């Protein structure tokens, strides 16, 4: 995450087992596509990558190197392949992130101190509140939609909502096509101020339309991986990770994790997660299902 003045301005979650954007991997061309586009390559582990620009000059069945340009996106369309392009570069892992790596486990939860738990709630609920209004953010297969509502005067709400929408897009790493529905304002000057608020808050690269007379503006940003909103759509896996991390910062010693059955199933389905927690807390870890609990209400009991 990127923290400025004690506030999270950008955040990213990288899932284990994912090949990160920017990595160059070996693969075999399994389909040449049509009209020089949308070829398919399979990596050694069996994962398939779509090559939107095709693989000119490469015959089906040949080996080639590909650079990952977009990671797999979970959610409503799990059949969609991650994206890549043919490259002559040598094999490599993704470039490392700059910054300071936090030790874990640790006596203090530095992420929580700068608002990590609030960020997770925004991702799972899609609701972001600000002074005088709120956003409702909805990821769809076509685009991410952001609706702005509140009790400020329309022109003031349009500008404040545009600024907050841009801030949220950056915080939750929303990419691809994005539609922002601002209050309808008759003043062209107010629409220009709303557009300027987006430009001031959201770093390049991105493209946007003008704010039209109905208050709608569309943005397009690079989409290299799933946003936090899209990760939260896999509720069981999302909440299992949240519960594991929270339990690791509580009192050391054996624990029983109590959670919705789907969350428990997610914990059981990932080899090593529970064992890793046991090593971190210095005690045994047990699991108990409670179907009366909401997905996000898991907790740890002391053994």
Arithmetic mean of pLDDT, 88-112: 87
Taking residues 192-213, report their average pLDDT: 96
By the 8 A CB rule, do 278 and 248 touch? no
CA pair distance 284, 303, nearest whole angstrom: 8
Query: Which residue reads 């001031």 in tokens?
Result: 200
The whole-angstrom separation of Cα 41 and Cα 50 is 7
To the nearest whole percent, how much of the chain has pLDDT over 90? 82
- Determine the average pLDDT of the residues in 184-207: 95
Q: Is 53 left (phi over 0), alpha (psi -120 to 50) or beta?
A: alpha
Tens digit of each residue's pLDDT (9 = 90 or more) over 14-65: 888 889 999 999 999 999 999 889 999 999 889 999 999 999 999 999 999 9
Which tokens in the block code for residue 202?
Answer: 């959201």
Question: What's the whole-number mean pLDDT along residues 73-95?
Answer: 86
Q: What is the pLDDT of residue 75?
A: 64
Model pLDDT, residue 186: 86
Which ranges of the chain does DSSP label H, i.e. alpha helix? 110-113, 116-125, 154-171, 188-201, 228-233, 235-248, 261-268, 273-281
Q: Can you tell me the distance from the alpha carbon of 157 to that of 162, in angstroms, rounded to the nearest whole number?
A: 8
Identify the pLDDT of residue 218: 98
pLDDT of residue 70: 94
What 3-state class would DSSP assign to 41?
Answer: strand
Reduce the DSSP state of residue 84 to 3 states and report it.
Answer: strand
Start-to-end CA span in the chain (Å): 34
Q: Name the least confident of 5-9, 83-87, 95-99.
A: 95-99
Range in 49-58, 75-84, 183-192 the model is least confident about: 75-84
Q: How confident is the model at residue 78 (pLDDT cuts 50, 70, 90)?
A: low
pLDDT tens string 247-279: 999 888 999 999 999 999 999 998 899 999 999
Per-residue pLDDT band for 96 (boundaries 50, 70, 90) equals: confident
Mean pLDDT value across the chain:
93
Domains, the chain, ordered by start: 24-87 (2.40.50), 112-221 (no CATH), 234-302 (3.40.1260.20)
**Using the 8-state DSSP alphabet, how is residue 92 labeled?**
B
Residue 141: pLDDT band (50, 70, 90) is confident
Burial of 297 (0-12, 13-18, 19+ CB in 10 A): middle
- Give the pLDDT confidence score for residue 206 in this predicted structure: 97
């Amino acid at each position: 995450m990127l923290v400025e003045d004690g506030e999270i301005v950008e955040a990213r979650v990288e899932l284990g087992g994912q090949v990160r954007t920017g990595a160059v991997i070996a693969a075999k061309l399994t389909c040449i596509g049509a009209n020089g586009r949308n070829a398919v390559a399979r990596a050694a582990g069996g994962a398939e990558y779509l090559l939107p620009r095709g693989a000119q000059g490469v015959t089906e069945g040949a080996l080639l190197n590909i650079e990952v340009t977009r990671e797999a996106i979970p959610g409503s369309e799990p059949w969609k392949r991650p994206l890549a392009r043919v490259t002559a570069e040598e094999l490599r892992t993704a470039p490392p992130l700059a910054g300071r790596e936090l030790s874990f486990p640790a006596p203090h939860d530095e992420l929580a101190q700068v608002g990590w738990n609030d960020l997770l709630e925004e991702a799972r609920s899609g609701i972001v509140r600000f002074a005088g209004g709120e956003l409702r953010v909805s990821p769809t297969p076509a685009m991410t939609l952001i609706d702005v509502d509140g009790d400020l005067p329309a022109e003031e709400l349009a500008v404040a909502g545009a600024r907050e929408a841009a801030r949220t897009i950056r915080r939750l790493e929303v990419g691809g096509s994005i539609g922002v529905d601002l209050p309808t304002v008759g003043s062209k000057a107010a629409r220009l101020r709303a557009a300027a608020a987006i430009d001031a808050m959201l770093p390049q690269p991105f493209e946007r339309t003008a704010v039209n007379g109905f208050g709608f503006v569309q943005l397009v940003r690079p989409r290299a991986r799933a946003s936090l909103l899209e990760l939260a759509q896999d509720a069981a896996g999302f909440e299992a990770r949240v519960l594991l991390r929270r339990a690791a910062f509580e009192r050391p010693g054996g624990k029983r994790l109590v959670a919705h059955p789907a969350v428990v199933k997610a914990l059981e389905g990932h080899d090593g997660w529970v064992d890793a927690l046991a090593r971190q807390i210095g005690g045994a870890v047990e699991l108990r299902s409670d179907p009366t609990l909401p997905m996000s209400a898991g907790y740890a009991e002391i053994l």
